[in-house]
Structure 1
Amino acid sequence: MSSSRDMSSSLDMSSSLDMSSSLQSAELRLVVLGRTGAGKRSAVSTILGLDEAPRGAEEGVRQECSKQRGEAAGRRVAVVSSPAWFGPGCDLEERRRHISSFVALSSPGPHAFLLCVPVNQPAEGEAEALNVLRKLFGASAVEANTIVLFTHTEELEEEEQLEDYLSAWRKDLKELVQACGEHYHTLEPRGGAAEEAKAVEELLEKVEQAVRARGAQHCSGALYREAEERVRGRQVELVRQRRGASPADPQPEGDVTEEEMEAVRDAAERSAGDFNVDVDGLFPRSPDSPAPSFLWGLWGKLTGWTSWLPRMMRMEALLGALVSLFVGGPLGGAMGATVGSVATEVGRRRTKQTK
């Protein structure tokens, strides 16, 4: 009995080592998602070691998906960056075009989705993005192969740890992390270029660990299978065009070499076309509900305003601001100021007692 268990254990270990080896030698495909201004461009630049684009480069009249290749932490990496198709500014056709584009560019499937999330803003849109990924590729694409990539961490206090901030302040961000199987990371360490390089290596290790735990080489599904079929068809067409062959000329796919196929891969991915994605079903129309969004907007402004305060005073300032917000008028302002000052004084006394 023990020998069979030992054999099973050794087989599992061998399988794990084989997958780890293949991941190290193969190209890791990453899809970077996030709202406009969430730091997608900075994340791509950090992963691939590129010079960061000028501020405001993400603001364009017509944004498109992009794909860049490079080497990171000794691994070959392909990074696909997509516009914020889950944001309120996109119409249905834009959403279909962006989803079709990032699927084709990351075909036959990404090893991880990296969802860029600013720590200083509410996570309304990001929760919707996870729901769309779940509908498109299945629950495991979110739970096993999506990593929340926190950005704008400079908003945290100098000595404040990201984990402490999430636990104490941001239940909405904690819920995002939980939905993604507790997979989260940041590429904005405190400590310069050496720490940044270490953060990139740790991110890629987390990607590989998630892939091994899932037991599959990459995310897949019907949409990715359709994308790969279209891409390979376009590859054959492009090779024929290079050879000067007519589309009517009989030419079996087997006559096309793998080298020729790879040479036209990027062009084939870019021209694979739109997929028949039920975007309307992914983003169901719902009655307008301005009140929650309005309150979330105010909450975002409050947390942004207090982010520069010392940690001891941050809770007190928010408490006073919220009292003022919900009571309203001169009375609310007076009550908020009183609550905030009393809470601040209590915090100071507690600090003195512990010293």
Structure 2
Amino acid sequence: MSHLNLSEVRLVVLGRAGAGKSSTVSTILGLEDGAALSQECMKYTGQVAGRQVTVVSSTDWFGSGCVPEDRRIQLSSLLALSSPGPHAFLLCVPLNQPADGETKALDVLEKVLGPALVQNHIIVMFTHIEELDQEEGLEDYLLIWRKDLAELVRRCGDRYHTLETWPGRAKPDEAVRELLDKVDQAVVASGADHFSCQLYQSIEEQIQKRQREIIGQRQADGLDSEDIEGVRLEAERSIEGIDLNLDGLFPSSDVQVSTGRSFLWGLWEKLTGWVWRLPKLVRREALLGALVGLFVGGPVGGAVGATVGSVATEVGRRKTQKSK
């Protein structure tokens, strides 16, 4: 089978705080810009391009500030709400920030749900793409400037997309249809109706058992038991105690290094705030050099960063002169 058009699509939207999860959900379901979505793990459903699309929006469960018990609860809720298994996970990745958190998220998903998930069912959703010039392609930008993000995409089977648009690019509704086409292609390539694994199968069995209990209780109480969707959601929300093996994925040392990470993120924010005032072609090269100095560290990092930045800036200026 080379093509598929799913009548019902189940999606999970993942991402750190500020990665654009809300805007992604809103764009997919055609909600108003700036629609207030819950900060908790929630399920949203709508009609999109003639299909029923269900989107489960996740919390920032892989952030270093999330305590172990909250992380377990949030992951359990995510899995229960997306049972019997989504057709695709959409990992929101800001184009203008390092991707260390997203890399950790993939590590966790591989450990909990298996490597087939990352290889076959994750689509990297790039957000905050104002870094790109209008005439610049996303693929070229990744290969030339952000090899860390290119590696993230490669790990996810070379699947990526963006819903953010500007003049000359696809309109939001076209971008959503393209996304659904990519979901179809991923499902066809995986050879399965949707993603599933032993953990999801166990969760689905618990949900169906709880559904029967809820319906029986409602009938005994003389209440309406015909609201199938409502009963299903209540059953999903009641699932607790999912056995998630997170050992070693979030070591206690994360807490100790969080101060250092916060310091680096502070430098990152100041750095991006400065380079954003420069012309795009020049600021990118300046940012490249500064990043080398920031993350290599020490006198060597500073010297290398300065050299990389100055050389890349000169290349960018020559490129600009040639294009005139």
Superposition TM-score tier, normalisation by shorter sequence:
0.7 to 0.9
Partner of residue 286 from structure 2, selected from 302, 307, 317 = 317
Matched residue of 1:280: which SS? coil
Partner of residue 44 from structure 1, selected from 16, 25, 28 = 25
Partner of residue 274 from structure 1, selected from 236, 241, 253 = 241
1:29-68 pair list within 5 angstroms: 29-53=10-34, 63-68=39-44
Using a 3 Å threshold, how does the CA distance of structure 1 residues 127 and 327 change in structure 2: closer, same or farther?
A: closer
Quote how far apart the aligned CAs of 1:125 are: 0.5
> What corresponds to 2:66 in structure 1?
90
Q: Does 1:187 align with 2:163?
A: yes
> What corresponds to 1:197 in structure 2?
173
1:39 & 1:65 partners in 2: Cα distance? 15
The percent of aligned pairs where both chains have the same amino acid is: 58
Q: Is the 8 A contact 1:316 1:344 kept in 2?
A: yes
Matched residue of 1:279: which SS? coil
1:188 & 1:142 partners in 2: Cα distance? 23
Q: Is the 8 A contact 2:108 2:246 kept in 1?
A: no
- 2:9 maps to amino acid: L
Partner of residue 91 from structure 2, selected from 110, 115, 130 = 115
1:273-352 pair list within 5 angstroms: 273-286=240-253, 293=261, 298=267, 301-303=270-272, 305-307=274-276, 309-318=278-287, 321=290, 344=313, 347-349=316-318, 351-352=320-321
TM-score, normalization by structure 1: 0.77
1:307 & 1:165 partners in 2: Cα distance? 17
Q: Is the 8 A contact 1:116 1:149 kept in 2?
A: yes
Q: Is the 8 A contact 1:121 1:300 kept in 2?
A: no
Matched residue of 1:127: which SS? helix
> What corresponds to 1:28 in structure 2?
9
Quote how far apart the aligned CAs of 1:153 are: 0.9
Quote how far apart the aligned CAs of 1:110 are: 0.6
> What corresponds to 1:163 in structure 2?
139
Quote how far apart the aligned CAs of 1:282 are: 3.7
Using a 3 Å threshold, how does the CA distance of structure 1 residues 108 and 317 change in structure 2: closer, same or farther?
A: same
1:126 & 1:94 partners in 2: Cα distance? 19
Q: Is the 8 A contact 2:61 2:71 kept in 1?
A: yes
2:64 & 2:22 partners in 1: Cα distance? 20
Using a 3 Å threshold, how does the CA distance of structure 1 residues 155 and 237 change in structure 2: closer, same or farther?
A: same
Quote how far apart the aligned CAs of 1:72 are: 1.3
- 1:280 maps to amino acid: D
